[in-house]
Amino acid sequence: MPHETATLFFALLAMALVAGLVALAVAWVVGRGRERSLIAPVRAVAVELAAAIAVVAMLGSLYLSEVANFRPCRLCWVQRGFMYPAAVLLVGALVRRSKGGLLVKVAGLLALIGLPISLFHRWDQWTGQASGLCDAVNPCSARWVNHFGFVTIPTMAAIGFTGVLALVALQLTTNLSHKES
């Protein structure tokens, strides 16, 4: 599969995730108190979906560096340092059948920390203002991928972190509401 096709596939997955997150947010605001809203079915598989997002993000980044031979910059490595363990923790939570436990909470914290790094990386790509942060030979502002005029690798990472964070938050607030009942 040509690299352009693979990166377009990843960009389309990211855009589908954005659409799903927007629908989930609208359902949460509009459908409060309604059990038949979109929230209930997503809530039932929130950790599974968060794990799928994190694993796809991890495998996608490995594809980009190991198959497509895109050299990760320093900020890409830092983002990987938060997404990869989140993927392992979320899969571990599923294996242990501990959807509201410590593994899920730590994965959510990793996504919460990784998200602003991705946003900063995207800002650097847009402005080139943080040029001293990365290697001059492999700058963080380089755009290996640019679909639809705005979807770059850090954009996809930020979307992935947002998806993991939103789904973990949905799961953890579900656990809180069940404890209060």
The reply to whether 5 falls in a domain is: no
By mean pLDDT, which of 29-33, 49-53, 93-97 is the weakest?
29-33
pLDDT value at 181 more than 50: no
**Confidence band for 33, pLDDT divided at 50, 70 and 90:** low
* Residue 136 domain boundaries: 44-165
Q: Angle at the Cα of 164 (from 159 to 131), degrees rounded to 5?
A: 45
Q: pLDDT at position 32, please?
A: 65
Per-residue model confidence as pLDDT tens digits over 97-122: 888 789 999 999 999 999 999 999 99
Indicate the number of domains in the chain. 1
Residue 4 lies in a domain: no
What is the pLDDT at residue 130? 66
Per-residue pLDDT tens digits for 130-159: 667 777 777 777 788 888 989 999 999 999
Domain assignment present for 172: no
Within a domain: 143: yes
Listing DSSP states for 82-121 in one string gives HHHHHHHHHHHHHHHT-TTSHHHHHHHHHHHHHHHHHHHH
105, 56 Cβ separation under 8 angstroms: no
Residue written as tokens 């796809």? 56
Let me know if residue 62 belongs to a domain.
yes
The reported pLDDT for the residue numbered 129 is 75
Asked whether residue 180 is assigned to any structural domain, the reply reads no
Domain annotation covers residue 55 = yes
| Between 132 and 126, residue with greater pLDDT | 126
Nearest Cα neighbor of 167 from 33, 59, 41 is: 41
Over residues 44-93, the pLDDT tens digits come to 899 999 999 999 999 999 999 999 988 888 898 999 999 999 999 999 99
Evaluate whether residue 82 is within a structural domain.
Answer: yes
